[in-house]
């Protein structure tokens, strides 16, 4: 009897110990904290980054020249600007344009040259340290949006046709046709599709203090405050020559510019391969998992963009619901 009692007590003691150990383990949890630096790969800091987008029908753009920074540090492009470089753009079979540094990492040219369509431009950069970066772009055909229309929600009936910058200049924002009440109708750009690989849409809010129009009580105040005033889309094919602006791109009331960009190969490849652009329709995108991969740059001796686009745009004003 005593022996059995002893066994029972021993079993209870063992069980109690196991339960206590489990509670301690559970409360503290099994740590999987790790050295944050182990989340980053072999560093590629100090690589040359170029940024220049030629727009058909516009003057030659500013060229920005920077270097990559550490992946675990906040990045400031100005602080990583590359000074003292020779920056040259050549039009194949045409003139050579030599840029001058306007501020650290930014190079400009004063020229009356207008970027033409279907032409090849080559960039050459030689840094003060002797590094050489080259890239070429062939500009796309011009893009002309024939109609900017607001459709009924059925997606077919035209409610109103918006006025163009070419007609009214900045007065388009006051034109009655260009007043859009959130979230009524569907804004669509209609164009004769140029022969390009793809398009991008951009929406830029011009008023910095206009109020939110989205009903978003399910978002935290911080998330609501971080809703952007300007957004860009992933790549579109727009096979039917139409580009419809989704209302989820519009968060604020006020003046907006809606741009449609017809892209050259370099810009098309960069945008479609940037993880931050959100991936394709059936992939989630983002800087995680299989979607986090190196973009396609088409640049020798560095990374970044030297590309071109043809752009058309419209201005409108978003009214409160």
Interacting residues with another protein between 85 and 114 (CB under 8 A)? none
Q: Contact 178/172 with Cβ under 8 angstroms?
A: yes
Question: Could you tell me which stretch among 92-100, 113-121, 139-147, 288-296 binds another protein (CB under 8 A)?
Answer: 288-296
Instruction: Confirm or reject binding of residue 36 to another protein (CB under 8 A).
Output: yes
Distance CA 177, CA 148 (A): 10
Instruction: Identify residues 187-216 at the interface with another protein (CB under 8 A).
Output: 198, 200-204, 214-216
Least Å from the CB of residue 105 to another protein: 10
Judging by beta carbons within 10 Å of its beta carbon (0-12, 13-18, 19+), is residue 165 exposed, middle or buried?
Answer: middle
Tokens at residue 299, please? Answer: 């640049």
134 belongs to the binding site for another protein (CB under 8 A): no
Q: Specify the residue, 38 or 209, whose C-beta has the smaller distance to another protein.
A: 38
Residue 165 makes contact with another protein by CB under 8 A: no
Residue 255's contacts (CB-CB under 8 Å, 6 or more residues apart) are: 173, 205, 206, 207, 315, 316, 317
Out of 1, 4, 5, 32, name the contact with another protein by CB under 8 A: 32
Tokens of 314: 């419209």
Task: Looking at residues 59 to 78 of the shown chain, list those that interact with another protein (rule: CB under 8 A).
Answer: 64, 66, 68-75, 77
Q: How far apart are the first and last CA of the chain?
A: 83
Residue 179 vs 230, nearer CB to another protein: 230
**Dihedral sign for Cα atoms in the order 201, 207, 213, 218:** positive
* Binding-residue total with another protein (CB under 8 A): 98
Strand order in the sheet with 86-91: 96-98, 86-91, 120-126, 132-138
Considering only residues 138 to 157 of the shown chain, the ones binding another protein according to CB under 8 A are 153-155
From candidates 41, 130, 176, 221, binder to another protein by CB under 8 A: 41
Question: Which of 93, 218, 221, 225 is in the footprint of another protein by CB under 8 A?
Answer: 218
Site for another protein in 242-261 (CB under 8 A): 244, 246-248, 250-251, 259, 261
Which lies closer to another protein via its Cβ, residue 133 or residue 274?
274
To the nearest whole angstrom, how small is the minimum distance from the Cβ of residue 58 to another protein? Answer: 11
One of 116, 141, 142, 275 touching another protein (CB under 8 A): 275
Q: Characterize 220-244 residue by residue with b for buried, 16 or more Cβ atoms within 10 angstroms of its Cβ, and e for exposed.
A: eeeeeeeeebebbbbbbebeeebbe
Q: Are 60 and 97 in contact (CB under 8 A)?
A: yes
| 14 near another protein (CB under 8 A) | no
Tell me how far, at minimum, the Cβ of 288 lies from another protein, in Å. 4
């Amino acid at each position: 009897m005593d022996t059995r009692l002893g066994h029972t007590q021993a079993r209870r003691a063992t069980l109690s110990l196991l339960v206590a150990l489990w509670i301690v383990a559970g409360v503290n949890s099994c740590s999987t904290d790790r050295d944050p630096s182990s989340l980053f790969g072999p560093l590629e800091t100090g690589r040359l980054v170029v940024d220049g987008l030629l727009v058909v029908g516009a003057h030659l753009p500013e060229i920005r020249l920077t270097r990559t920074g550490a992946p675990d540090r906040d990045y400031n492009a100005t602080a990583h600007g590359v000074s003292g470089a020779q920056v040259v753009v050549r039009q194949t079979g045409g003139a050579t344009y030599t840029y001058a540094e306007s501020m650290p990492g930014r190079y400009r040219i004063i020229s009356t040259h207008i970027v033409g369509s279907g032409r090849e431009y080559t960039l050459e950069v030689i840094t003060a340290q002797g590094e050489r970066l080259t890239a070429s772009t062939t500009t796309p055909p011009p893009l002309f949006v024939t109609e900017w229309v607001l459709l009924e929600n059925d997606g077919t009936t035209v409610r109103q046709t918006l006025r163009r910058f070419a007609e009214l200049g900045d007065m388009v924002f006051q034109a009655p046709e260009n007043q859009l009440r959130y979230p009524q109708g569907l804004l669509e750009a209609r164009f004769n599709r140029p022969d390009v690989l793809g398009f991008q849409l951009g929406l830029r809010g011009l008023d910095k203090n206009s109020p939110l129009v989205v009903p978003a009580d399910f978002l935290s105040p911080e998330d609501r405050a971080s809703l952007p005033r300007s957004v860009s889309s992933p790549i579109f094919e727009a096979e039917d020559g139409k580009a419809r602006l989704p209302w989820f791109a519009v968060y604020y009331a006020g003046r907006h510019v809606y741009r449609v960009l017809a892209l050259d190969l370099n810009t098309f490849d960069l945008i479609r391969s940037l993880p931050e652009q959100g991936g394709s329709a059936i992939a989630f995108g983002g800087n995680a998992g299989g979607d986090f991969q190196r973009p396609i740059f088409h640049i020798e001796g560095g990374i970044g963009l030297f590309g071109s686009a043809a752009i058309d745009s419209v201005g409108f004003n978003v009214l409160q619901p």
